[in-house]
């Protein structure tokens, strides 16, 4: 063919780039379309033979694709460690405070609804006996095991705030003094005590102590009055003349105003004036005695709890019904919110890792994502993929056209080279 022939330029030079470009674009377009279409399997007419490559690649392999995407997301894009780091950035004390603030305000708002308040009071009052019984039982069992410090803490606070600051009035002090006189310092008891004390050995010890440690005038007086003889005669009198001895002792008690002195000591007694070590020992003994008493009388205590179940229900019901959210001081409510937020933040900061390690697998993110993708219709699956990479697929089609165009130019070059060889 002559190089000057227009047919040569049309067929061998212009046509190959056009055909190769169209071929490259069309082939790539078909390949991209085969990813999604047809949506369903096609069969040869009047047969059950499935046409190859139907349905499209993505619809045909949708289950495998779902598992692959779910695995990629949970293992790489949304791993447990990533979730933990993201949650830790959100778990701040201020964010927790905002949640607590809204939650408590919502609860207080509900308390203004009379019907809901009465239902809550009824439900909680019915539950209160079981809660009280369980709490007391767990408290006693904890004391039995020696692992519960709550009770000791309660007794310690009561001791410090009630016992240490307790004061006895004058009337109460005289009442106590009368009980002491009636049970510990009667005429008969004092007489018996003196008789048991004035033994020959004790009388000899008294005389010996006077001679060794007393001043000279007292030593002389003791010798003059003969202390041993006086004590011995006094013992005889106490033993042989009980009625007269009791009258003497009673008269001396009145003259010495023993009752008034005991009452005065009781009314002016202040435990805080005692040595710190004595107070600590007394507190320790009070705790030990109370704990031992509770453990020893466990059954009696549980029986008592069962007896007051009715009173507990009534008390809880009345307390809830009478509760008025408006009576809570704003500063007290704010402090409660802050304390709750601080407690929750401290707990989550310490336990968040362990909680998430148990919670994230329990959510079943992998199965949930895979099941969601498997439920997509072929059209939805195509829309999802195109939404993500529509531009890239279009660029792929253009790349196929560009490759075809360059192959067309290569074919033109080969044609020209072949014509050149024929010319020679």
Is residue 271 within 8 A of residue 163, CB to CB? The reply is yes
Angle separating helix axes 298-307 and 309-321, nearest 10 degrees = 50
- Burial bucket for residue 28 (CB in 10 Å: 0-12, 13-18, 19+): buried
Is residue 59 within 8 A of residue 383, CB to CB? The reply is no
Per-residue pLDDT at 4: 54
Paired tokens of 242: 């009980």
Residues whose CB falls within 8 Å of the CB of residue 97, separated by 6 or more in sequence, listed in order:
337, 338, 341
Residues whose CB falls within 8 Å of the CB of residue 129, separated by 6 or more in sequence, listed in order:
309, 312, 313
What gap in Å lies between CA 288 and CA 285, rounded to an integer? 5
Virtual torsion, Cα 253, 256, 259, 261, nearest 10 deg: -150
- CA 36 from chain centre, in angstroms, equals 52
Alpha helix stretches (DSSP H) within 187-241: 187-197, 200-213, 216-225, 227-240
Is residue 280 within 8 A of residue 165, CB to CB? The reply is no
Q: Which of these, 37, 67, 63, 42, lies nearest to 52 by C-alpha position?
A: 42
Q: Which residue has the tokens 């309660």?
A: 154
Q: Which of these, 94, 254, 281, 102, lies nearest to 190 by C-alpha position?
A: 254
Paired tokens of 131: 């809660």
Per-residue pLDDT at 363: 66
Is residue 395 within 8 A of residue 32, CB to CB? The reply is no
Sequential DSSP letters for 282-338: HHHHHHHHHHHHHHHTHHHHHHHHHHTHHHHHHHHHHHHHT--GGGS-HHHHHHHHH
- Tell me whether the omega of the peptide bond preceding residue 38 falls within 30 degrees of 0, making it cis: yes
Per-residue pLDDT at 98: 87
Per-residue pLDDT at 422: 60
Q: What is the mean pLDDT of each run of 10 residues along the chain (424 residues)?
A: 54 73 86 78 78 74 77 68 73 85 81 72 76 80 76 80 78 88 88 90 88 86 85 90 90 90 86 82 86 84 79 74 72 86 83 70 70 79 78 84 85 73 57
**Residue 43, beta-bridge partner list:** 50
Is residue 36 within 8 A of residue 65, CB to CB? The reply is no
Per-residue pLDDT at 227: 85
- Tell me whether the omega of the peptide bond preceding residue 55 falls within 30 degrees of 0, making it cis: yes
**pTM of the shown model:** 0.41
What gap in Å lies between CA 321 and CA 118, rounded to an integer? 7
Output the CA–CA distances (angstroms, integers) from residue 197 to 230, 231, 238, in the order listed. 14, 10, 12
Alpha helix stretches (DSSP H) within 6-52: 6-8, 15-34
Paired tokens of 279: 């107070």
- Find the radius of gyration of the CA atoms of the chain: 51
**Vertex 263 angle, CA 261 and 265, to 5°:** 70
- Secondary structure string (H, E, C) spanning 129-170: HHHHHHHHHHHHHHHHHCCCCHHHHHHHHHHHHHHCCCCCCH
Is residue 62 within 8 A of residue 381, CB to CB? The reply is yes
Output the CA–CA distances (angstroms, integers) from residue 286 to 176, 278, 292, in the order listed. 21, 12, 10
């Amino acid at each position: 063919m002559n190089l000057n022939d227009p047919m040569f330029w049309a067929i061998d030079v212009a046509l190959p780039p056009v055909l190769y470009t169209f071929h490259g674009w069309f082939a790539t377009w078909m390949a991209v379309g085969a990813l999604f279409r047809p949506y369903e399997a096609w069969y040869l007419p009047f047969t059950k033979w499935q046409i190859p490559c139907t349905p499209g690649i993505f619809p045909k392999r949708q289950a495998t694709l779902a598992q692959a995407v779910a695995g990629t997301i949970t293992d790489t894009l949304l791993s447990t460690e990533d979730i933990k780091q993201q949650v830790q950035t959100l778990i701040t004390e201020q964010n927790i405070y905002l949640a607590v603030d809204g939650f408590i305000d919502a609860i207080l708002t509900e308390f203004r609804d009379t019907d809901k308040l009465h239902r809550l009071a009824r439900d909680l009052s019915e539950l209160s006996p079981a809660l009280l019984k369980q709490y007391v039982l767990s408290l006693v069992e904890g004391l039995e095991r020696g692992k519960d410090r709550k009770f000791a803490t309660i007794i310690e606070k009561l001791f410090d705030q009630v016992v240490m600051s307790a004061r006895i009035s004058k009337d109460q002090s005289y009442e106590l003094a009368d009980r002491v006189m009636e049970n510990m310092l009667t005429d008969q008891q004092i007489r018996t005590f003196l008789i048991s004390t004035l033994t020959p050995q004790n009388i000899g010890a008294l005389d010996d102590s006077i001679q060794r440690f007393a001043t000279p005038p007292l030593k002389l007086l003791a010798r003059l009055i003969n202390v041993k003889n006086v004590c011995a005669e006094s013992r005889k009198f106490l033993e042989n003349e009980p009625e007269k001895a009791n009258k003497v002792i009673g008269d001396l008690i009145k003259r010495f105003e023993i009752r008034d002195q005991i009452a005065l000591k009781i009314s002016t007694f202040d435990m805080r004036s005692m040595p710190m070590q004595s107070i600590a020992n007394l507190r320790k003994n009070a705790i030990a005695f109370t704990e031992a008493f509770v453990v020893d009388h466990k059954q009696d205590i549980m029986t008592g709890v069962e007896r007051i179940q009715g009173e507990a229900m009534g008390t809880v019901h009345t307390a809830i019904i009478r509760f008025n959210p408006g009576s809570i001081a704003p500063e007290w409510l704010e402090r409660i919110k802050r304390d709750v937020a601080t407690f929750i933040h401290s707990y989550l900061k310490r336990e968040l890792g362990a909680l998430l390690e148990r919670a994230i697998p329990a959510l079943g993110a992998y199965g949930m994502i895979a099941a969601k993708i498997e439920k997509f219709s072929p059209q939805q699956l195509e829309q999802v993929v195109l939404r993500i990479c529509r531009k890239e697929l279009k660029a792929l089609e253009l790349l196929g056209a560009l490759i075809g165009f360059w192959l067309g130019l290569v074919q033109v070059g080969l044609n020209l080279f072949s014509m050149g060889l024929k010319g020679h």
